A and B are shown apart, each in its own frame.
Chain A
Amino acid sequence: MDEEPERAKRWEGGYERTWEVLKEDESGSLKATVEEILYQSKRKRVIESHGQVRLGMMRHVYVVIDCSRSMEDQDLKPNRLTSTLKLMEVFVDEYFDQNPISQVGIITTKNKRAEKLTDLAGNPKKHITALKKAVDTVCVGEPSLYNSLNLAIQTLKHMPGHTSREILIILSSLTTCDPANIYELIKTLKSLKVRVSVIGLSAEVRVCTVLTRETGGSYHVILDESHFKELLMLHIKPPPASSSSECSLIRMGFPQHTIASVTDQDAKPSFSMSHLDSSSGPGLSLGGYLCPQCHATYTELPVECKVCGLTLVSAPHLARSFHHLFPLQAFVESPVENLQGDRFCQACQAELKDKSVSG
């Protein structure tokens, strides 16, 4: 891995056997360490992702956050919950940056129950405030995979067929308390084409392996905080669309931003439609984005028009989503024998040990 895991104070850590990691690296080629394998698969992922595949650009993702007792564990600093919520803020930000025409909702599960923290929405601010508030949650009881998935399905199944339906579970506990047979629910998820991915914070749990395998999602377990972040960021890229998903043309509106100067006497302040339902924030403004169909005012994009239901985006948003479809060309690997010149890194003078180099 390229970056050192960042930790707060050494003395706060549990028993760590850093010397053993070193020893493993040195020992003969027979004991390829897990890091090596990880590194290989990471490289492979980079190379593989360049095929021309259809991606589910309009995503509806429910993130399920485990808030059970095991989230109080302090192996992530300061504890698993705080660390997860911090990373989630980054995730939400990044997610909307890369997927401007997608939506996210957050579900928490504890005490054998699942609750919606935020509904599916395209506004990062709302989520982030909710996440910030959630830091004070008391972690109790066991999580319930069944209830969380069920809650997510209730909303996701009404989403149009051309969008990608996803659930991302951040699971810390190794046990789940379910009211019914979860394998039945997995079948339902499969038939609804909901993709479920899991990030485990402790270890590999069988039911998650089956869940992700059946629904076509991915299952990863974190090694440390930096790895956690890396795994979370993997979910920012839109997944390949399943071949059976519908495709249809979608009407979109590109509203123009109008700003009326304060000096203009004709300008009348108006309420932003997106602020109607929330009490927070300044609702009254002079300018904004006007829906090309019904002229409702919005202060932010992207949004679905409250009045006429048109999807309002700006051109740069679409362009940003576009780059997932046409990524950079991959480097061409050539065997190290063909390399002219010396086989040392120009920066640190370390010998190049890889079997192939990019050119």
Chain B
Amino acid sequence: MKLNIEGLLVYFPYDYIYPEQYSYMLELKRTLDAKGHGVLEMPSGTGKTISLLSLIVAYQRAFPLEVTKLIYCSRTVPEIEKVVEELRKLMEFYTKETGESNNFLALALSSRKNLCIHPEILHANIVVYSYHYLLDPKIADLVSKELAKKSVVVFDEAHNIDNVCIDSMSVNITRRTLDRCQTNVDTLQNTIHKIKETDAAKLREEYRRLVEGLKEANVARETDIYLANPVLPDEILQEAVPGSIRTAEHFVGFMRRFLEYLKSRLRVQHVVQESAPQFLKDIFEKVCIDRKPLRFCAERLQSLLRTLEIADIADFSAVTLISNFATLVSTYSQGFTIIIEPFEDRTPTIANPVLHFSCMDPSIAIKPVFQRFQSVVITSGTLSPLDIYPRILDFRPVTMASFTMTLARTCLCPLIVGRGNDQVALSSKFETREDFAVIRNYGNLLLEMSAIVPDGIVAFFTSYVYMENIVASWYEQGILENIQRNKLIFIETQDAAETSMALEKYQEACENGRGAILLSVARGKVSEGIDFVHHYGRAVIMFGVPYVYTQSRILKARLEYLRDQFQIRENDFLTFDAMRHAAQCVGRAIRGKTDYGLMIFADKRYARADKRGKLPRWIQEHINDGSLNLTVDEAVQLSKHFLRQMAQPFRQEDQLGLSLLTLEQLESEEMLQKITQIAHQT
């Protein structure tokens, strides 16, 4: 159908539209009009992707000078494929409606085997790829640096974007890394020797270039061709590479010295935590390495690798990592911390020293993106509370909106179970973690649910350790045996192959009527990437509040930083983080309007306003006072009722006019008024 969105003609490749899709497009258009950034939350399964694509493509056609390119970033390869599929549908619709073959060029970058390096890609109108191509400085430099300024960047499924940013800027160095780096450096030295004998002129040429400095790069940045690389700060571009690392041999020698220093730092018996300036001071005192050459390390290595014409850069990942570390540590005095741990927390007897150079400020990695592109849209099914994202990513959005699902029938049923049948308070908090009464009641909850929920149930625990403890305890109490009478039990483990095997069998059991329970862990693979459509997930049970492991030093450092720099209290951030993961977990069950599912929050703490208020609005609006602090029995009764209601026949006609609209219905005065209420401005 053809839509008119505030004067913009939008081709929408379906005959029906959800009201919230229309509303979403409205907000999106306003964002583009204002040339600003936006934060938009809309539940999964309501057609976010197609709304985004239709509107932005229409916008590009209407104002080709305002918006030249759409950069669509998604998380995983299947998601990218889904986007491409929708895009194809849209393009076919365009061809059919306008009668002309379109000259739109879209490009998807998924993996190396599909990688295209044809220069034409620079002119593609739409680019779809993974976050890392834009955020990870190492890859961004290769792929994204020449993208035009007038692009619209969309981050889909962006609820974890801060962690992606942090991961892309953080460096972990182990003994293994250092050993491999040592080998790299040796190879470099040998190659230099060889080249020196055969083609000394080449090295001289490089030297000359380095004396002239990185002027070229500077010119490029000023004339606005490249995306800024956070590893390559502005100051570097204005200066020449310092003399001490200008010749190849000197540089290799320099790297050796730096490597030896790192090795000595890893020989520690106790945990060390220091800031970047402290580290620099120490390195200067011990091995006389100055800050300046360190800062040029990454650039100098790139230059050397180019000069030596080394084809397979992957072999040199270790030395590249170390040189990136050198540059980062000497460039940013704030926002990073260095933690050296002699062993892992779980295995205090095995020496396995790690140097964590950890980024605490996600805005560092994403800053160039916000600065460069005129519109950046962050969107996901779960982005609540919306206002925290601009704060931790340090940007100013022009639109922030949360959309709800309009439903012809209430197809989600969030229940907060706070007590067992014996009135024992259910909670995963530390003090009661070992409490048998709590564990027994959790077991009872799962048992009762396994008897009344058809097909698949997914249960999430807060951590692997917690899950192991509970399952062992259930086994001893005979609860597992009882559950197995109703359903088969599968468990997610840290082994990826084992987990995918379990998942496959789980789906088979759901398919053929035996019924199954999948026990998994919030923040694990299952909770993030896998959808449990329809019968694969009729209920999700969240045992406890999935707080992150708070004893980790990296986390502590980050919390401190957030408090000092962004005035976000530790507790607020921890709760926010726990709730977004809980929302992610329970959101796995509802993947569309014809789907239905129970969402059971089994912890009395969910009933508190500070937790509940941080759930996405589309879940929150279905939690009424009657579904708070229930006992297991009450929850079972409500679930039974809900499941029977949902099992009644439900056809598309029942949705029409309420949650699914034709063009005429959409254009009615009454509906337009309703639509404006869907978006929840914050």
Looking at the complex, which of B450-458, B470-478, B604-612 is the stretch in contact with chain A?
B450-458
* Selected contact of B637 from candidates A14, A177, A181, A223, CB within 8 Å: A14
B647 touches A30 (CB 8 A): no
Known: A30-B406, A174-B453. A200 touches B512 (CB 8 A): no
B649 touches A41 (CB 8 A): yes
Q: How far is the CA of A222 from the CA of B646 in the complex (A)?
A: 11
A204 touches B514 (CB 8 A): no
B534 to A, closest residue via Cβ: A206
Could you give 18 example pairs across A and B, Cβ below 8 Å? Answer: A17-B626, A17-B638, A30-B406, A32-B409, A34-B646, A37-B650, A37-B654, A38-B649, A145-B513, A174-B452, A174-B455, A182-B512, A203-B452, A203-B453, A204-B643, A204-B646, A206-B454, A223-B644
Known A34-B646, A41-B651; further 13 A-B contacts with Cβ < 8 A: A17-B638, A17-B641, A20-B626, A37-B409, A38-B648, A174-B451, A178-B513, A178-B514, A202-B454, A203-B453, A203-B644, A206-B513, A223-B648
The 5 closest A-B pairs by CB, nearest first: A207-B513, A221-B647, A206-B535, A204-B647, A203-B643
Q: Does B556 contact A (CB under 8 A)?
A: no
Minimal beta-carbon separation of B58 from chain A (angstroms): 29
B637 touches A15 (CB 8 A): yes
Q: Does A251 contact B (CB under 8 A)?
A: no
A34 touches B409 (CB 8 A): yes
Q: Does A242 contact B (CB under 8 A)?
A: no
Q: Does A90 contact B (CB under 8 A)?
A: no
Minimal beta-carbon separation of B400 from chain A (angstroms): 24
B645 touches A34 (CB 8 A): yes
Residues of B within 8 A of A200 (CB): 647
Q: Does A270 contact B (CB under 8 A)?
A: no
Q: Does B239 contact A (CB under 8 A)?
A: no
Q: How far is the CA of A222 from the CA of B649 in the complex (A)?
A: 11
Residues of B within 8 A of A220 (CB): 647-649
Known: A32-B409, A174-B486, A221-B644. A204 touches B454 (CB 8 A): yes
Minimal beta-carbon separation of A68 from chain B (angstroms): 10
Residues of A within 8 A of B513 (CB): 145, 175-176, 178, 182, 205-208
Residues of A at the B interface (CB closer than 8 Å) are 14-17, 20, 29-34, 37-38, 40-41, 69-70, 75, 142, 145, 174-178, 181-183, 200, 202-209, 220-223
B interface, size bucket: 35 or more
Q: In B621-648, which residues have CB < 8 Å from any A CB?
A: 626, 633-634, 637-638, 640-641, 643-648
B453 touches A70 (CB 8 A): no
Q: How far is the CA of A145 from the CA of B515 in the complex (A)?
A: 13
A145 to B, closest residue via Cβ: B513
Residues of B within 8 A of A31 (CB): 407, 409-410
Q: Does B121 contact A (CB under 8 A)?
A: no
A174 touches B515 (CB 8 A): yes
Minimal beta-carbon separation of B83 from chain A (angstroms): 28
Residues of B within 8 A of A17 (CB): 626, 637-638, 641
Q: How far is the CA of A7 from the CA of B402 in the complex (A)?
A: 44
Q: In B283-321, which residues have CB < 8 Å from any A CB?
A: none
Q: How far is the CA of A178 from the CA of B408 in the complex (A)?
A: 36
Residues of B within 8 A of A221 (CB): 644, 647-648
Which of B454, B487, B638 has most chain A Cβ within 10 Å?
B454
Q: Does B511 contact A (CB under 8 A)?
A: yes
Residues of A within 8 A of B647 (CB): 200, 203-204, 220-221
Q: Does B171 contact A (CB under 8 A)?
A: no
B535 to A, closest residue via Cβ: A206
Q: How far is the CA of A82 from the CA of B410 in the complex (A)?
A: 32
Minimal beta-carbon separation of B95 from chain A (angstroms): 35
Q: How far is the CA of A129 from the CA of B487 in the complex (A)?
A: 35
Q: Does B658 contact A (CB under 8 A)?
A: yes
Q: How far is the CA of A69 from the CA of B626 in the complex (A)?
A: 31
B644 touches A175 (CB 8 A): no
Q: Does B192 contact A (CB under 8 A)?
A: no
Q: How far is the CA of A209 from the CA of B406 in the complex (A)?
A: 26
Q: Does B396 contact A (CB under 8 A)?
A: no
B648 touches A175 (CB 8 A): no
Q: How far is the CA of A55 from the CA of B406 in the complex (A)?
A: 41
Residues of A within 8 A of B454 (CB): 174, 202-206
B455 to A, closest residue via Cβ: A206
Q: Does B365 contact A (CB under 8 A)?
A: no
Q: In B469-526, which residues have CB < 8 Å from any A CB?
A: 485-487, 510-515
B646 to A, closest residue via Cβ: A204
Known: A30-B658, A175-B515. A37 touches B643 (CB 8 A): no
Minimal beta-carbon separation of B648 from chain A (angstroms): 5
Residues of A within 8 A of B409 (CB): 31-34, 37
Minimal beta-carbon separation of B128 from chain A (angstroms): 33
A34 touches B485 (CB 8 A): no
Residues of B within 8 A of A182 (CB): 512-513
Q: How far is the CA of A16 from the CA of B453 in the complex (A)?
A: 18
Q: How far is the CA of A174 from the CA of B456 in the complex (A)?
A: 10
Q: How far is the CA of A129 from the CA of B67 in the complex (A)?
A: 79
CB-defined interface of B404-415 with A at 8 Å, one 1/0 digit per residue?
A: 001111100000
Residues of A within 8 A of B633 (CB): 14-15
Q: In B516-570, which residues have CB < 8 Å from any A CB?
A: 534-535, 538
Minimal beta-carbon separation of A64 from chain B (angstroms): 14
Minimal beta-carbon separation of A211 from chain B (angstroms): 9
A210 to B, closest residue via Cβ: B511
